[in-house]
Amino acid sequence: MNGWKKMTNGNPAMCVSARLVHPAGRVKIFTELTKAHLTFYIALSAVFGHVIATQDPGGDTLVLGSAVWLLAAGAAVLNNIQDRIYDAYFVRTCCRSLPRKKLTANTAGVIAAGLILSGLGMLFLCFHTPLPLILGVLSLVCYNGLYTPLKKKTCLAVLPGIVCGMLPPAIGWTAGSVTSSYTGFHTLLVLMLVTGIWQVPHFMVLASRHKTVDPDHVPFFTPSFVWTISERNIQILIWTSLYSLSVFLFIIKGGISGYAFSVALAGMALVLPVGMAAFFKRCPAPKTGPGFYAINLSMFFFMALGILDHLLV
């Protein structure tokens, strides 16, 4: 049975037309479609790369962050369009706007096109090199062309996801760095390693939250069909530990110069896998909400302190 139909008991009244949605509800729909929390992180990682390159952020840094957010938001809306049937089969996503038909796929497509073209246009017009534009297009290919269709078939979808996660800092760095300059290049590479590895535990925790509406009738692949709870927890812990090690490497390689910021980041990197292990030991069942928020907040903490450190140098 279709997941959405099961949730609504086939009642057409549960299907809300977009024209009946209150303005505040439309803002909520837009925030959901653009995955505002995730796209904010993506824009922030691009700003981090730009700050590393320029060491003197200004108005162009804000332009860069805005351009990357627009591009990421457009890709997120396109992802929602691609996943609208898939989402209907899972408890966490079946009440999203497109499965519930609060707006049409065509309307969402117009929004996606506007955001993507605006982001790409800014990358093309506002910077001295075509590299940010090229990397922006590559990120779309990785996310919407590879990751989104592959996640319905195999866990190997995480590979283009890793590449996609590594690209925003590179977009920021190429937008701020003179072509012949290698300012902060090694710091950028370690930053890309951190953001790339982070994608794996993020993907695994997110996938483990995919509780199906109707387990016997899901025509898509989902990792919960492959992993036992203990196998999932072990993999999340391994990749969370690797992510923490990459943060330590970033500190060791001089990505953070302030002593207080270095200690704070090192503490976060040490506590995160230990905290995850303690949580899984106490609550091994597939309740991964706290782990999901811990992974996300750790990345925000890492980028916020890293940017502040470079601003205050």
Flag whether 171 is in a domain.
Answer: yes
Q: What is the CATH number of the domain that holds 195?
A: 1.10.357.140
| Separation between Cα atoms, residue 257 and residue 120, nearest integer Å | 33
3-state secondary structure of 212: strand
d(CA 214, CA 236): 25
- Over residues 285-301, the mean pLDDT reads 78
Reading the block at residue 15, the tokens are: 């299907």
Evaluate if residue 2 carries a pLDDT over 60. Answer: no
Q: Which domain holds residue 33?
A: 3-220
pLDDT at 214: 60
At 213-231, the pLDDT tens digits run 565 566 666 766 667 778 8
11-15, 183-187, 214-218, 226-230: the lowest-pLDDT one:
11-15
Token pair 């928020």 in the structure block, residue? 293
pTM of the model: 0.86
Task: Write phi, then psi, for 32 (nearest 5 degrees).
Answer: -65, -45
286 occurs within a structural domain: no
Structural domain total, the chain: 1
Q: Pull the structure tokens for residue 147.
A: 């990751």
**Is residue 64 a part of any domain in this protein?**
yes
Is 251 inside any structural domain? no
Phi, psi of 215 (to 5 degrees): -55, -25
Q: What mean pLDDT comes out for the span 188-202?
A: 94
Whether 123 is covered by a domain: the verdict is yes
Q: Assess if residue 65 is contained within a domain.
A: yes
193 domain-assigned = yes
pLDDT at 10 over 90: no
pLDDT at residue 281, as a whole number: 79
Per-residue confidence (pLDDT) for residue 224, from 0 to 100: 63
Question: Distance of CA 155 to CAs 149, 158, 190, 233, 288, Å?
Answer: 11, 6, 25, 15, 18
Query: What pLDDT digit, counting tens, does each position of 242-282 carry?
Result: 999 999 999 999 899 899 999 999 999 999 999 888 888 77
Among the residue ranges 85-94, 137-146, 269-278, the one predicted with the least confidence is 85-94
| pLDDT number for residue 141 | 97
User: Could you tell me if residue 44 is inside a domain?
Assistant: yes
In this prediction, residue 28 carries a pLDDT of 87
The answer to whether 212 and 219 are in contact (CB under 8 A) is no
